[in-house]
Structure 1
């Protein structure tokens, strides 16, 4: 891979997020190109490739990994396949952008580290929000003291999906609310507070048929007593909300996670006067595609050889928090987060 040509991406599977969001985003870029897509159904891969204008289609994932033109692999496979196919991509000499959650445990995520180091290839967990200007600005406001001392973050992320055939509702392959969307709340706390939580407690409600967590609420305690409180659900009305609360101000992030690439984003800020009939201050951000920003940032990092601030160690730490949340469910009490 050189700086004189576009990086070439290959996509493992025809998953909805790949076909409907990530590939169209990548195809807007002048810095990279989607060169191939693979599916275990060759006819489906061919049909998607033809529809999206992708040069090569494979009916086998290994065939894509053997393609010498592919520099970076995007892995949107079901959760239980993230680590196995990321390992195979690394061994094939490819960098990997892998959908969240990277693994089903911190221990599983850790198995990628040695191979990444030995092959010299990067792995990043695909939390696209960290590249969106609204989130970068929110963190800037917090770190700059614009809200006073930020002591609390409230997050909710919910949708309604009761399809038993959907991978999000299959326990044995990593389905459920915490793995699918609660992982965003965990990442948000670590991103905004810029440190790791010390202990957590969770309350989980599981679907009687699927066995997956359909409603999980949790408290994460960070150094200094700061807290993030979140609720994630797979069987509630679709909703998203983030509140960052300080001693002198508050920021609300409108559409924090699934911001449309063709609509402006907004941060709402106030000092408490809104409760008395005032209006919040509003910062707007022109339409951007956060999947495009994520891909270009990762591509540039792979080309330059720079150290990734959101590499494997970050993914392991995010999974360590999720491990502690599952432990809390089992013990019905507080759980310490393993620190590396």
Structure 2
């Protein structure tokens, strides 16, 4: 197998705008099919992006012998169900974040995935595939900022459209599920550990009934993390990493442009340094890294257990907001 043949479940914006064009540039990935419950929409997107096959149902795509792996960018409440159906159809699965609506749902997916040891499945946290983030963890491991003590994250944008799926509670809407999950994933990635307890405060939109702003503290065995996520604030994203002997600043940490170099800023006892990275597309890298695991029959970059652990923190923060105090993880 030279390239993994990919099928895409739905014509979701993230798939059409970002993921498919990026994967089409990959070394190990080839997008060969796309499905929509609206056949005309599937055909239109297929024609636009040069995809060979268009299906008028997700089931038809899963039945295809010409598809090896499935990318699942469906709304959050459909992630688990269709990921399981894809596994049952013998397809590898790359599923958008958040992997599920709850820790329990995520565990159900993990349980099902273990029935298919020959198939790969991974949550699509694309930022982890960017060389800049790998460098951040390398710097921490090498002691460049001393002992890692705290991570501060912020991620926001403005969207109050009642028809948008991110604003529908029954579909898993809200800032914590959409972008706060990154702010949980990052410190777990950098500490290489799990928080022991969390506390969170949320603001609920009185009309949309979704959580539109969350601020939280995560307590780790060797430090802490704080973050704010919001879907009705000005657009902003940043991550700052602090150690006993230095700090790292990551501008545009989650959605850097793929057209120009990216940077990180390191400051420690020896001075200040700007580290630059050649332009790259993290969606292309994500697709290729997953496809390479399929081709080589090796472990995926991030196992499904990580996705379950991230959902556990999200659930704990919801519980904390409801109870008004710290909750153990």
**TM-score tier (shorter):** over 0.9
Moved more, 307-316 or 189-198: 307-316
The corresponding residue for 1:232 is: 229
Matched, 1:34 2:18: no
Structure 1: 4+ residue segments shifted above 4 A? none
Q: CA deviation at 1:113?
A: 2.3
Relative to the length of structure 2, the TM-score reads 0.97
Q: Counterparts of 1:136-215 in structure 2 under 5 Å? A: 136-215=134-213
How far off is 1:243 after superposition? 0.2
How many residues align? The count is: 328
Inter-partner Cα distance in structure 1 for 2:292 and 2:64? 21
How far apart in 2 are the matches of 1:328 and 1:143? Answer: 32
2:13 is equivalent to residue 6 of structure 1: no
Structure 2 matches for 1:46-61, cutoff 5 A?
A: 46-61=43-58
Q: CA deviation at 1:47?
A: 0.4
Distance in 1 between the 2:128 and 2:303 partners? 13
Unaligned runs of 5+ in 2: none
> Is 1:99 aligned with 2:112?
no
Counterparts of 2:185 and 2:177, CA distance in 1: 12
1:268 aligns with 2:260: no
Gapped regions of structure 1 (runs ≥ 5): 274-278
Separation in 2, partners of 1:185, 1:157: 7
TM superposition shift of 1:256: 0.1
> Contact (CA 8 Å) 2:147, 2:243: kept in 1 or not?
yes
Post-superposition Cα deviations, 1:257-308, rounded to whole Å, max 9, x if no partner, equal: 00111121110112389xxxxx942000010000010110011112222233
Q: Are 1:306 and 2:298 an aligned pair? A: yes
Question: Hey, what's the Cα distance between the residues in 1 that align with 2:110 and 2:307?
Answer: 11
CA distance in 2, matches of 1:98, 1:187: 15
Distance in 2 between the 1:335 and 1:236 partners? 27
TM superposition shift of 1:9: 0.2
2:326 equivalent in structure 1: 334
2:153 touches 2:226 (CA, 8 Å); kept in 1? Answer: yes
User: For 1:328 and 1:121, how far apart are their aligned partners in 2?
Assistant: 36
The corresponding residue for 1:123 is 121
CA distance in 1, matches of 2:141, 2:27: 33
Distance 2:119 2:318 in 1: 31
Distance 1:78 1:272 in 2: 46
Post-superposition shift, 1:310? 1.3
SS, match of residue 152 in structure 2: strand
Normalising by structure 1, we get a TM-score of 0.94
RMSD: 1.2
